[in-house]
Amino acid sequence: MDVDAAIVLAAAATKRWETGCPMGPLDGLPIGVKDLQNTKGLLTTHGSVRTRGFVPDEDLLMVGRLRAAGAIVLAKTNVPEMGAGGNSRNPVWGATGNPFDANLIAGGSSGGSASALAANLLPLCTGSDTGGSLRMPAALCGVVGYRPSVDVIAHPTRPLGWSGISVLGPMARTVDDLTLMLDVCQGDDPDDPLSAPSVKGRFINLISADLKDLRVGFSEDFGGAPVDQSIRETFQDRLDNLRPHVKECRAADLNLGDMDRCFDILRAESFGAAFGKAVQEDPDSFGSHIKDNVALGRSMSLADRGWAHAEQTRILRKFNKLMNDFDLIVLPTSPVSPFRWTQSYAHEIDGQNMDIYYRWLALCYRGSLTGGPSITLPCGRDADGMPFGLQMLGAVRCDERLLAAAKAVETHFESVAETARPLADMENLAYSTVDLRSIVTHPPIWTAKTASKTQPLRTAV
């Protein structure tokens, strides 16, 4: 946290608002920045032993845009090591607990951001998403996470510039807050060849959507991914609540192709490009998830890579055809209720063993393959009393339409106590029975002298 600087900046923002001359729409708002994203002068560790003392000398482009709009970077938010996985714990900072039960996961890799929002520590936070890193933690913590179309927010640090499975995005507690932030973050950059020029204000002046006009598709399992029965039941309950209020609500066939193998290859390709050399030089400084992904990539051939990119293209085209019949498709975000943070990932779902640490994220990462927008909305609680997140998929490059529909759905669910956004009771929240910092083996290095000698690592997400 950078509390002293934030106090000074907040005082200056107050004076600007008093004189009617704010820097921008976020002037004076404190924000959290995911600890994979560079913040000038503020420790950025990636949750990694290798970079536990790295202090960047410049901001990530998205962070710079937020600062230019007046946002105050108050804190960095926790992540899994290098953003790998759906459980935000690492050997530098420890684990992020869920604000509804500190013994359970907050999700990942933007788990620190989601937890801070749910705990009312910050009003806005940044995130990024390869296989669900914006959507999964938002669902598990009862906030809003948005994965924009690949062209919306420039990602100039993506290791493979022409591969769009990784995007940057905003997190907030409501759709209105999220679109305010998104409008600041959006825009192109020549170092991201997939980003596109945009018009300022495109996400502020959304055309309202009416529920009664929406054609809604639904899927419990995104083409057969394992989902716990209790989650299916909660999803069907939300669907039954929504169905009478929309124009159309029918099943959508999301069997789009061999999505798991396709994602495996594209993810391994990205991790190999980002971490392959470093893992080879110093394997002991990386956890098993990173090394497993790099090893998976090394086992693949050029033919595998070619197949994966062709399969992703086929998946996109099937999805485009499907979306001619729907305005949005809804499905669960998480296949399980939050589990204990001491467990690295969900090893089994509905009787099916997970073959790799990120397989339990299939409801999210399968959607990443389309390149289109998706959002998670808080929607009451699941059978275990934890937040339930409803995921919504939109057509590629139709972000405004999806966000307008999300606002309409949010308004509807907020009108009913059982489906409104759940609120964490921070006053009565008990500490985790296992110290969240008990896994710290290499704490952060705070001294600037040491930090300045530490070289940054590339990021794959």
For the chain, helix, strand, coil in percent to 5 are: 35, 15, 50
Question: 309 lies in a domain?
Answer: yes
Owner of token pair 């975000």: 333
Q: Mention every residue, 6+ apart, whose C-beta is less than 8 A from residue 142.
A: 100, 118, 378, 387, 389, 421, 422, 423, 424
Question: 159 lies in a domain?
Answer: yes
* Number of domain units in the chain: 1
CA distance 96 to 78: 7
CA distance 389 to 137: 9
Question: 430 lies in a domain?
Answer: yes
Rounded to an integer, the average pLDDT of 244-258 is 98
- The rounded mean pLDDT for the chain is 96
- CATH number for the domain spanning 239: value is 3.90.1300.10
Rounded to an integer, the average pLDDT of 19-28 is 98
Q: Which residue has the higher pLDDT, 450 or 67?
A: 67
Domain residue limits at 442: 3-451
| Active-site residue identified among 109, 113, 334, 374 | 109
Q: How confident is the model at residue 455 (pLDDT cuts 50, 70, 90)?
A: low
C-alpha separations of 96 from 114, 174, 278 in Å: 10, 22, 26
Question: 132 lies in a domain?
Answer: yes
Question: 459 lies in a domain?
Answer: no
Residue 109 catalytic?
A: yes
| 446, pLDDT greater than 60 | yes
Question: 152 lies in a domain?
Answer: yes
Question: 220 lies in a domain?
Answer: yes
33: its two tokens: 């920045």
Neighbours of 423 (CB within 10 A): 14
| 318, pLDDT greater than 70 | yes
Provide the whole-model pTM: 0.97
Residue 128 catalytic?
A: no
Residue 113 catalytic?
A: no
CA distance 76 to 245: 40
Question: 457 lies in a domain?
Answer: no
- Whole-number pLDDT of residue 460: 74
| Active-site residue identified among 113, 115, 133, 337 | 133
Q: How confident is the model at residue 448 (pLDDT cuts 50, 70, 90)?
A: low
- Whole-number pLDDT of residue 447: 80
pLDDT digits (tens, 9 = 90+) for 200-210: 999 998 999 99
